[in-house]
Amino acid sequence: MNITIVGGGGHVGLPLGLICAKNGISVNAFDTDKKIVDEITLGNVPFLERGAEDLLRDVIEGGFFRASSDPESIRESDIVIIVIGTPVDEFLQPNPNTVIDVVSELIKYMNKDQLIILRSTIFPGVTKRIEKMLEHAHPSIGVAYCPERIVEGNALEELENLPQIIGSTSKRVFDRASKLFETIGVKTIHTSPEEAELSKLFTNVWRYIKFATANQFWMIANDLEVDYENVRKAISFEYPRAADLPKPGFTAGPCLFKDTMQLSALTNQKFILGHAAMLINEGTPSYIIEKLKNKFDLKSMRVGILGMAFKGEVDDIRGSLAFKLRRLLAFECKEVLATDEYASDIRFESFNSVIEKADILIIGAPHIKYKTIQTEKPIIDIWNLYDKGVLL
């Protein structure tokens, strides 16, 4: 089996390529960013993903994996996996044509015997549009939507354990796609393309709403001067119906907010539950600042943010609410200092510098390193990194 992954150098495409290559599939990771392609070719993973670098070097050495920025490399593949998502613009509106336009550009490199797999979040209805579009150029080509559901940082493990949803209009296409994923050892589930598209959106939006619930509960408890973590532990202790109540934290990243806005657009902005979740999650930095203003003279203080990634133990800053927190704080305090254990930015300072200069510290991303901080300065820890509630 010979596959090309379009977007093969990214957080979704590269781990999939590595797992496929590990299982004996010949993988071509196609990416338009030549710098990323060069890095991968040298055996370097361009982002933090546990276990990925050692595996990358193994599969390159074994001859099962290569990276390319030449679209001609698509022609010889049995399967083309397209890992291009649907962006949301500054008006919070999705652009379904993004994926369609990419496929349109690639048609000239495809052939009638290929299977095309769409992998990232797409707006409902896009799979069938692409299927009809490709029928004119390559009548016997197959199209399936096979959404990824991995957690960034733990992708390699989850790719070999999570069942794979396969949305297709024919059993022939399902069987072919199923063979690919069964090769890497996972079970497959057959749905229609629309069911698969909604399953991806619903999965991410459900998580976004659950985190919003936790954040709202945390605010309510905090306003009543009650330790939310003690409440959460009490109601979830050996009580399975409350076991999934999350801890609070900044709910952001490249998917959850974006997909909630996609579902809102799909319903003509009638998705009230999603809007409420967005107001809570996006309003969490403002809530923290208002509480700090009531307790401290921020105008005379330096505030340090520890962790600028969108969650702990990753280097991905896409959609991180720590940046929103920093922007809002810049108007309220003397100076804002920022650092991160994994992500790099010319605006970041060293960990020791932030600890030394700041009057107040806020955990922006719960990296494990921050659990061992030795300081008498106030630390605002919405994530409960220290396993104790922090009242503001």
Question: Looking at residue 293, which CATH number applies to its domain?
Answer: 3.40.50.720
Q: In this structure, are 156 and 238 located in the same domain? A: no
Last residue of a domain, one of 135, 170, 191: 191
Q: What is the DSSP letter of 317?
A: -
- pLDDT recorded at residue 78: 97
- Among 58-62, 71-75, 96-100, 186-190, which is the least confidently predicted range? 96-100
Same domain as 162, residue 49: yes
> Confidence band (pLDDT; 50, 70, 90) for 224?
very high
Residue linked to tokens 């957080």: 11
Phi-psi region of 326 (alpha: psi -120 to 50; beta: other; left: phi over 0): alpha
Residue type (1 letter), 46 = P
Taking 70 as the threshold, does the pLDDT of residue 237 lie above it?
Answer: yes
Q: Is residue 386 part of a domain?
A: no
Residue at 388 is within a domain: no
* Residues 39 and 120 reside in one and the same domain: yes
Do residues 35 and 171 share a domain? Answer: yes
Domain boundary among 163, 191, 219: 191
Per residue in 181-200, pLDDT (tens digit) is 999 999 999 999 999 999 99
* pLDDT confidence tier of residue 293, bands split at 50, 70 and 90: very high
- In the sheet with 65-68, reading across from the earlier edge strand, the strands are 65-68, 26-30, 2-6, 79-82, 115-118, 142-145, 164-167, 188-191
The stretch 100-126 carries a mean pLDDT of 94
Query: Is the pLDDT score of 132 beyond 80?
Result: yes
Rounded Cα gap, residues 250 and 282, in angstroms? 8
pLDDT number for residue 95? 86
How many Cα atoms sit within 13 Å of 171 on the Cβ side?
0
pLDDT band at 89 (very low <50, low <70, confident <90, very high): confident
Residue 243, burial from CB neighbour count under 10 angstroms (0-12, 13-18, 19+): exposed
Q: Are residues 356 and 210 in the same domain?
A: yes
385 assigned to some structural domain: no
Mean pLDDT for the stretch of residues 120-124: 90
- The yes-or-no verdict on residue 268 having pLDDT over 90 is yes
Q: What is the pLDDT of residues 301-358, one digit of tens each?
A: 999 999 999 999 999 999 999 999 999 999 999 999 999 999 988 889 999 999 999 9
Both 34 and 170 in one domain: the answer is yes
Same domain, 218 and 160: no
265 and 320 inside one domain: yes
- 93 pLDDT tier (thresholds 50, 70, 90): confident
Is 282 in the same domain as 350?
yes
Per-residue DSSP letter, 242: G
What pLDDT, on the 0 to 100 scale, is given for residue 391?
Answer: 65
Name the pTM for this structure.
0.93
Domain that holds residue 345: 199-380
Residue 350 has phi, psi (to 5 degrees) of: -70, 155
Predicted confidence (pLDDT) at residue 92 exceeds the cutoff of 90: no
In a domain, 166, yes or no: yes
Lowest mean pLDDT among 49-63, 90-104, 119-133: 90-104
Looking at the structure, do residues 147 and 270 belong to the same domain, yes or no? no
* 240 and 371 fall within a common domain: yes
pLDDT of residue 75: 93
Number of domains in the chain: 2
206 with 140, same domain?
Answer: no
Among candidate residues 170, 191, 212, the one where a domain is terminated: 191
Q: With a cut of 80, say whether residue 123 has pLDDT above it.
A: yes
Q: Is 37 inside a domain boundary?
A: yes
